[in-house]
Amino acid sequence: MTIHEKAYAKVNLSLDVLRKRGDGYHDLRMIAQTVSLCDDVTIELTDKGGVYAECDMDRVPGGGDNLAAIAAKKFFERAKSPNVGVFIKIKKRIPVGAGLGGGSADAAAVLRALNRELDAGLTESEMFELALGIGSDVPFCVAGGTRMMEGRGEILTALPPLKGCYIVLCKPPGSLSTKRVFGGTDAVAIKNHPDTYGMIKALETGDIPGFGRGMFNVLEEYASKLNGEIAPIRKGMIDLGADGACMTGTGTAVAGLFTDLNAAQTAAESLSKVYMETYLTEPVSPP
């Protein structure tokens, strides 16, 4: 049996750090969106046992260490079918080390596909629990769409679907360690926070430019000290007509929201002359 599943990238359109927790994580409040840039995940089920993943990009771990392979192992442990063998192939398009949840999206695609195709019957909350054991962004990637993410990222609230806009993604060279960016941001000292509920209000009333203007990521200040190209890319997006822009996750990619398609195309074209990893995407809603 061969299953094909799209693994869509995740973009944080706002990211707020509320507090540092005792368990090493931070309580966050974010607005996240699934976008059309995706990896292709192919899952072959065999009767040989064992889980193996292969990716067409060298920087991504293969074998059993890939997040998609870890997801399959955890799924079969949970669904109590330990003898099923899985061979996962990933065609990577989502930039790695970008804050776009590429690895999480691949893991989520595996969980979604196996639960559906094998009629395993795990409920939504069981899937989210399994997903959180793989990474903080995996529950969102399982669910997809437009959501507020809270807690570590696993408390999900569905928001009205973001429509009528385009999201340009631009990643400068270099990646940042997630732990380092969180570690360098002092939650208590953060002066400016995104107006998350103001953005949600704008979304509810269909004020997409207003929603875009609210985009803000509190981790960007420290990340910008480590990578000097994040701030100029964000400014470039605004100068090229974005309604709003901010770094996604712990970077280094920047997302710009455009309500005007021509402006989005021009911005993507212009940025791609300097930054190879530039993409014009659209918001995607779950089927």
Minimum distance from residue 180 beta carbon to ligand C5P (Å): 9
Reply yes or no on whether 137 is catalytic: yes
- CB 67 within 8 Å of CB 103: yes
Is residue 223 classed as helix, strand or coil in its secondary structure? helix
For the CB of residue 249, give the shortest distance to ligand C5P in the complex, in Å: 9
Residue selected from 5, 12, 26, 141 as contacting ligand C5P according to rule CB under 6 A: 26
User: How far from 229 is each of 102, 169, 196, 220, CA to CA, in Å?
Assistant: 21, 14, 26, 11
Closer Cβ to ligand C5P, 26 or 89, answer by number? 26
Q: Which of residues 121-140 bind ligand C5P (CB under 6 A)?
A: 135-137
CB of 61 to ligand C5P, least distance (A): 14
Interacting stretch for ligand C5P, rule CB under 6 A, among 24-32, 41-49, 156-164, 211-219? 24-32
Q: What residues contact 43, with CB distance under 8 A and at least 6 apart?
A: 2, 3, 4, 5, 72, 86, 87, 88, 110, 113, 114
Q: Which of 10, 89, 92, 171 is catalytic?
A: 10
Place of tokens 């203007």: 213
Burial label, 140 (beta-carbon count in 10 A; 0-12, 13-18, 19+): buried
Smallest gap, in angstroms, from Cβ of residue 82 to ligand C5P? 25
Which residue has its beta carbon closest to ligand C5P? 136
Does residue 28 belong to the site contacting ligand C5P (CB under 6 A)? yes
CB nearer to ligand C5P: give 33 or 278.
Answer: 33
**Which one of 128, 166, 182, 275 is in contact with ligand C5P (CB under 6 A)?**
182
Decide if residue 184 touches ligand C5P (CB under 6 A).
no
Residue 76 and residue 39 in contact, taking contact as beta carbons nearer than 8 Å:
no
Q: Does 152 bind ligand C5P (CB under 6 A)?
A: yes
Which residue is associated with the tokens 């989005």?
264
In terms of CB distance, is 102 or 135 closer to ligand C5P?
A: 135
Cα dihedral 66, 33, 259, 278 in deg (nearest 10): -10
- For the record, the structure tokens of 202 come out as 């704008």
Instruction: Tell me the helices (H) and strands (E) count for the chain, helix number first.
Output: 10, 11
Q: Which residues bind ligand C5P (CB under 6 A)?
A: 24-26, 28, 135-137, 152-153, 178-179, 182
- By annotation, the residues acting in catalysis are 10, 137
